[in-house]
Amino acid sequence: MIRTLIVDDQPMIRVGIRAILESQDDMTVLGEAENGQLGVEKSRSLRPDVVLMDVRMPVLDGLAATRAILGPDRVAGHTPRVLMLTTFDLDDYIYAALQAGASGFLLKDSEPEDLQRAVRVVASGEALLAPSITRRLIENFVEARPRRPAVATALNGLTDREREVLRLMALGKSNAEIAAALFIAEQTTKTHVSRILQKLDLRDRVQAVVFGYETGLVTPGGRP
């Protein structure tokens, strides 16, 4: 069961999201919060698997709340996935969400099925970004940041196969697509992904994608 928390300042939005999620047998809503500060408090007390976080809210906005939930002061042993929800399809919001540690980004006008799917992939660690948000946003995000040689040395701890899996992850490939490209079993791919995240101390695939670009393993435009 995927345990969720809805953080949004609009009651009708919260009601709608709750209905969409609770229509699924594998999802439950633990609670709601009408601003970022309450969202942080409820995340720490309820310990959801996924927090659906609005960007613009009073008291504390969604980006600051996400930093609080995922930052150094987070609850020990609890690191939920954060799925950002907004009406604004602007690069700056997406860059800030990635920097805050969000695992996904979805527009509020997405179809209910897209929201349900996004919650599942974020919960499983398979998340990149919503279908409405293209890979160019991650590429632009990474281009705006200086290359970090010290980070690139972390690649030395990966096997050749793990490097190839990471490269395909950074190109936005799913586990099934990676397995097909490398002629290996999907379960083997999942094992490689888990080891990569563990070796590089990365939380999820979003961080792995950014890492792949930062190290030069993949360059903007998808060129290895």
What is the CATH number for 126?
3.40.50.2300
Residues 13 and 103 in one domain: yes
Q: What is the largest CA-CA distance in the chain?
A: 51
The SS3 call for residue 35 is coil
Q: Are residues 59 and 169 in the same domain?
A: no
Query: Quick check: is 221 in a domain?
Result: no
Domain boundary among 133, 158, 173: 133
Task: Residue 61: give the domain boundaries.
Answer: 2-133
* 39-43, 50-54, 87-91: least confident range: 87-91
* 112 and 163 fall within a common domain: no
Residues 113 and 15 in one domain: yes
pLDDT of residue 92: 65
**Two structure tokens written together for 124:** 């499983």
Q: Write down the pTM of the prediction.
A: 0.70
Q: Give how many domains the chain has, as a whole number.
A: 2
Reply yes or no on whether the pLDDT at 224 is more than 70. no
* pLDDT surpasses 60 at 223: no
Taking a C-beta distance cutoff of 8 angstroms, is the pair 70, 122 a contact? Answer: no
Question: What are φ and ψ of residue 4, in 5° steps?
Answer: -120, 160
